Amino acid sequence: MAATQMTATDTDATAARSHAKSKALAERAEAVFPGGVNSGTRRNGSPYAFADGRGGYLTDLDGNTYLDYHAAFGAMIIGHRAAEVDDAVRRSMSGVDLTGYGVSELEVQLGELVTSVLPSVEQTIIVNSGSEAVAYAIRLARAITGRKYLVKFQGGFHGWSDPVARNVISPKERAYGDDPITAGMLPDSWQSTLIAEFNDLESVRELFRTHPEQIAAVIMEPIPHNVGALVPTQEFVEGIRQLTTEQGALLIFDEVITGFRHAIGGYQEICGVTPDLTTYGKAMGNGYPVAGMGGRRDLMQHFDAAGGDVGLLGTFNGNPTSCAAAIATVSYLRDNPDFYTRTHALGERLRTGLREIMADKGIAAQVVGFGGTFSTYFLDGVVSGYRELLDNNAIASVQFHRRMIERGFLMIPLALKRNHISGSHTEADIDRTLEAMSDVLGDMRSEGFV
């Protein structure tokens, strides 16, 4: 897939950067948006505003260029301004636009495509964000089972809806307890969600024992990428599948991040475990707003559109622009399996190189990831669940990403956050990144941050 590619020299990456124009726009934004942004995690200081994106690079309003590893939390899987995706969207605009009635050719094409590549999905709905997809999955699971409780894992993030808006990056004093991520929710809405430990099957069994025949579903990110990358053991994933089946509960894979990024069939293709329901989004449209939820036909028939009792609502669901982008993106990934071979290899090249840098400098850290993702935990010892992450040096994490940004590598400066390699990144990009990482970590070591 063609994506116009920028380049950045080593001089560009290390030169002093002006942010005057970007900062001025950010100040204008504060007058019309709360805090000047439309999502709280976007307020992180420089760079404040972007003017252009091409391939693996972003350019801010002041002309500063950044190699983009943030990738809009992973939505940009192919790269910025991927020609085939943008061309498909333009073509869609010459046909029918939003009607809010019946169905369109693009909707059906996307539905056929999704059901052909995701192992668990016999029928799908098309929505606009991962949060919407998860909200539908939870509502459907509770309606089908007639049960109240939901199980999620400490550290997992499943969007902003009330039932799951709790216990994500929790501090030690609130981890595994009551830790809603926002004010304004009624306690009943989130206290019906129970918290387990990832990669700890016994913690899930205990919840089923203490809430017999009351748990509607277990929802899990197959790899909890919202806290970096906790890679599951095969025994754990298979154990969750067996346990939910035995207990009459549904298993929901939240593949909003892992879906289409690690394999065309999501992580469920890789691990060989089939959930009852799956949510997907992010990389599905290479930057366009589109997501979905699907599963077995008998479960999906509970929606009112099929004569069931679960409402299926949304004016912009299946809109032609988003469907066109998703068809182009997923078709490209399906038809170019070498995409995964190459991005996985680049991910391993970066993770291996960064581990060598850490060892050479005597820094206690764990470099983790899967496929084309990578994260760094500034702690000693093996990490399998959230309990170990409570020892992460958050100050060092933020410093590392902030200093990489200053050198021209965009990595969101928040602790435990992952980075993404897109189809537009090259071996030269990875090698240049490793050189900058070595310099940054050397400075952090000498200054006592690590």
* DSSP class per residue in 248-314: T-EEEEEETTTBTTTBTTHHHHHH----SEEEE-GGGGTTSS-EEEEE-HHHHTTBGGGTSSB----
Report in angstroms the alpha-carbon separations of 178 from 158, 181, 192, 195, 197. Answer: 17, 10, 11, 9, 15
Asked if residue 222 lies in contact with residue 189, where contact means CB atoms within 8 angstroms, the answer is: no
Question: Is 185 in a helix, a strand, or coil?
Answer: coil
Predicted pLDDT of residue 14:
45
Residues 214 and 281 in one domain: yes
Q: How far apart are CA 287 and CA 268, in angstroms?
A: 23
Residues of the chain under the 50 pLDDT cut: 1-5, 7-14
- Cross-strand bridge partners of residue 303: 310
Q: Which two tokens stand for residue 414?
A: 């928040």
Question: How far is C-alpha 168 from the chain's CA centre?
Answer: 13
Whether 55 maps to a domain, the answer reads yes
Predicted pLDDT of residue 15:
52
Predicted pLDDT of residue 17:
85
Residues 113 and 186 in one domain: yes
Question: What CATH number corresponds to the domain at position 59?
Answer: 3.90.1150.10
Whether 423 maps to a domain, the answer reads yes
Report in angstroms the alpha-carbon separations of 324 from 52, 131, 321, 339, 355. Answer: 22, 21, 5, 20, 40
* Number of domains forming the structure of the chain: 2
Q: Taking Cα atoms as reference points, which of 428, 426, 404, 427 lies closest to residue 414?
A: 404
Report in angstroms the alpha-carbon separations of 355 from 349, 364, 378. Answer: 10, 10, 12
Residues 370 and 330 in one domain: no
Residue-number span of the structural domain to which 208 is assigned: 84-335
Kindly report the CA angle at 346 between 414 and 77, in degrees rounded to 5?
65
Q: How far apart are CA 107 and CA 127, in angstroms?
A: 11
Residues 30 and 95 in one domain: no
Predicted pLDDT of residue 152:
98
Residues 193 and 207 in one domain: yes
Element (H, E) at 361: helix 338-361
Residues 119 and 71 in one domain: no
Residues 358 and 403 in one domain: yes
Q: How far apart are CA 70 and CA 91, in angstroms?
A: 29
Residues 297 and 232 in one domain: yes
Whether 2 maps to a domain, the answer reads no
Residues 48 and 104 in one domain: no
Residues 163 and 95 in one domain: yes
Residues 109 and 239 in one domain: yes
Element (H, E) at 406: helix 394-406
- N-to-C CA span, the chain: 41
* Boundary residue ending a domain (286, 302, 335): 335
- The CB density around residue 50, as the number of other CB atoms within 10 Å, is 17
Predicted pLDDT of residue 12:
44
Q: Are strands 57-60 and 65-68 parallel, antiparallel or unpaired?
A: antiparallel
**Would the CA dihedral through 118, 123, 128, 129 be positive or negative?**
negative
What pLDDT digit, counting tens, does each position of 101-124 carry? 999 999 999 999 999 999 999 999
